[in-house]
Amino acid sequence: MVQRVSGLASGMDVDSIVTKMVQAQRVPLDKLVQKKQTLLWQRESYRDFNTKILDFRNNKLSTYRLEGTFNSKKVSIGGDTGAISAKVNGAVTGSNMTVKVESLGTAATNASTDSLDLTGTSVITGPQTFYVNGKKIVTDENETLNSILAKITNQTNVSAYYDENVKKVSFIAKNTGKMTIKDMNSQEDLPDKMDTIQLSGDFLTNTLKMGAGTAGKQASVYVNGIKYEPNSNVFTANGVEITLLRESQGAGSNLSISTDSDAMVDKIKSFVTDYNAMLKSLTDTIDETRYRDYAPLTEEQKKSMTDTQIEQWEKKAKSGLLRNDDILSKAVQNMRYSIMSNVDAGTGSKYKNLASIGITTGSYLENGKLYLDETKLRAAIEADPNAVKNIFTSKGDLTDSTKNVGVAEQMYRSFNDIQKSIMNKIGYTSLDDSTSRDESIIGKQIYNLTKQIQSGEDRIKDLEDRYYKQFSAMETAINSYNSQSAYLSNAFK
């Protein structure tokens, strides 16, 4: 370690002189540092864009490529419209249904036979053990009535309440009709199902004064002539959720299942919006201005600038880092190719591409932005909803999965390849980890630059040490000369 001395003997500013002497030698090193910083910013830009692509692919295209997204159905009720309500709640297996309600289901109930000397906040002293529909309930020491009833509600198929007005507890089954009461904690060999709420235990009979209760009743309804006895007045048949409101009159209700054009239009509108947003983000990045005169600032340059000036400079220095990027340009090409593809499901439909259902591109200057003719789209949906669905969701021919692939499915696949290309270029290391040697393209470049910069720093340090050593020798010589001069001066006085 060379001892660095200031110019005490010579009166020279040695630090300043050495700094200026090595300044020219730092220029190549500063360029390496700037190049590395540019690569770090570029890698960050890739990662930011990869996040956008991931969101577009996994949260948007993944939905538009599914048949269920476009299998929108609606149900209308004819005949007795007051006996039921209905809505599509799954994959509908038919187009028309008949429903006739013979009787509504009722839930089993039970209640205190007399007013209680309790309130909801009354403390029940001592732990209690009892059974509700075969489920063993154990209470803690000094629980309130309300907390015990909450345990019953949470742990059994019965809801328990306390009515402050009449000072009685009431139980009601969570489902109508018969209840499953078998349980691993059953205190006796109970049947699988019972119409009434089964209670056992002194706490229920003596403290809460529960009675025999009222039996529940199964609902009875005919769907397409087949009798159903559901455990609720709300059930699903053939993908349609039916709610029983009263007994049917006359021949009952007629359900007609049809395509929900409004829902399909809304889904396709969303696709167009999401597509245009992704396309704009890509093209804006590819076309972003590159300010080549604005290289990353060195630490020395930053010393003479304000924070605002540094921020403004770096904004331009970071601009256009992905301008005309090959990977992003490929993504745009893939998107444009997808929207021009034909999808023939073999049905002979005239609706085979986006243009045929009213989705077209704007002028060349708009980079392929999509526009939607809603009137034309609705006409296509009414005429052939399956063909419209296939344009987006088809997975390809059975013999060749690369042919007749739907628009959303194509883009979903192609963006997977784009993401792989990005990760091949930037790797998986942390943005701050510039010393890890990953095998990505930019990772290798950063690693090599880091080694070159370290070597450059070592050379600069060696050069500075040599200069300081020379100045130190000069200072020593001057000190020696000054000492001799002072001696001679004193000798001739």
Tokens of 97: 């249904």
In the chain, what percentage of residues exceed pLDDT 70? 87
Encode pLDDT of 246-291 as tens digits.
999 999 999 999 889 999 999 999 999 999 999 999 999 999 999 9
Q: Within this chain, do residues 189 and 225 fall inside the same structural domain, yes or no? A: no
Using alpha carbons only, how large is the chain's radius of gyration in Å? 41
Q: What is the pTM of this model?
A: 0.71
Q: What is the pLDDT of residue 1?
A: 46
Residue 290 token pair: 């590159």
Same domain, 25 and 52: yes
Residue 9 has pLDDT above 80, yes or no: no
Secondary structure element (H or E) that encloses residue 485, with its range: helix 441-491
Q: Are 319 and 232 in contact (CB under 8 A)?
A: no
Residue 172 amino acid letter: I
Same structural domain, 177 and 232: no
Least confident of 388-392, 420-424, 434-438, 455-459: 434-438
Residue carrying the six token digits 């704007």 = 362
> What confidence score (pLDDT) does residue 36 get?
93
Answer whether 226's CB lies under 8 Å from 219's CB: no
Residue 449 has pLDDT above 50, yes or no: yes
∠418-424-426 over CA atoms, to 5°? 105
Q: CA 23, CA 10: separation in Å to the nearest integer?
A: 22
**How large is the average pLDDT for residues 320-345?**
92
Pair (198, 243) in one structural domain: no
Based on the fold, state whether residues 296 and 332 are members of the same structural domain.
Answer: yes
> Does the structure show a pLDDT above 80 at 401?
no
- pLDDT of 479: 67
Sequence-separated contacts (24+) of 57-60 with Cβ below 8 Å: 57/411, 57/412, 57/415, 57/416, 57/419, 60/271, 60/274
Domain that holds residue 23: 14-68+263-426
Residue 5 has pLDDT above 80, yes or no: no
Residues 231 and 255 in one domain: yes
pLDDT band at 179 (very low <50, low <70, confident <90, very high): confident
- pLDDT at res. 379: 95
Same domain membership, residue 128 and residue 93: no
pLDDT at 3 over 80: no
Per-residue pLDDT, 436: 52
**What letter would DSSP give residue 205?**
I
Name the residue type at position 72. Answer: S
For residues 201 and 254, membership in a common domain is answered with no
- Region 12-21: mean pLDDT is 68
pLDDT of residue 22: 67
Structural domain ending residue among the three candidates 377, 398, 426: 426
Question: Is 287 in the same domain as 399?
Answer: yes
H-state helical runs in 288-400: 299-302, 307-318, 326-339, 374-383, 385-393
Domains: count for the chain = 3
More confident site: 301 or 372: 372
CA atoms within 13 A on the CB side of 39: 23
In this structure, is residue 455 part of a structural domain? no
Average pLDDT over residues 316-339: 95
pLDDT at position 10 over 60: no
* Euclidean distance between CA atoms 377 and 388, whole angstroms: 9
- Region of poorest pLDDT, from 244-253, 305-314, 433-442: 433-442
pLDDT at 29: 85
Query: Does 113 lie in the same domain as 80?
Result: no
Give per-residue pLDDT as tens, 41-56. 999 999 999 999 999 9
Strands 96-103, 129-132: pairing kind: unpaired
Instruction: Tell me the C-alpha distance between 84 and 342, whole Å.
Output: 44
**Quick one: pLDDT at residue 35?**
93
CA-to-CA distance for 156 and 135, rounded, in angstroms? 6
pLDDT over threshold 80, residue 94: no
Tokens of 222: 């005919």
In this prediction, residue 183 has a pLDDT band, given cuts at 50, 70 and 90, of low
123 shares its domain with 192: yes
Residue 369 included in any domain: yes
pLDDT digits (tens, 9 = 90+) for 205-231: 999 999 999 999 999 999 999 999 998
Q: Indicate if 287 and 418 belong to the same structural domain.
A: yes
Between CA 230 and CA 403 the distance in angstroms is: 46
Backbone angles phi, psi at 168, to 5 degrees: -135, 150
51-65, 95-109, 172-186, 299-313, range with the lowest pLDDT? 172-186
Q: Supply φ then ψ for residue 115, to 5 degrees.
A: -65, 145
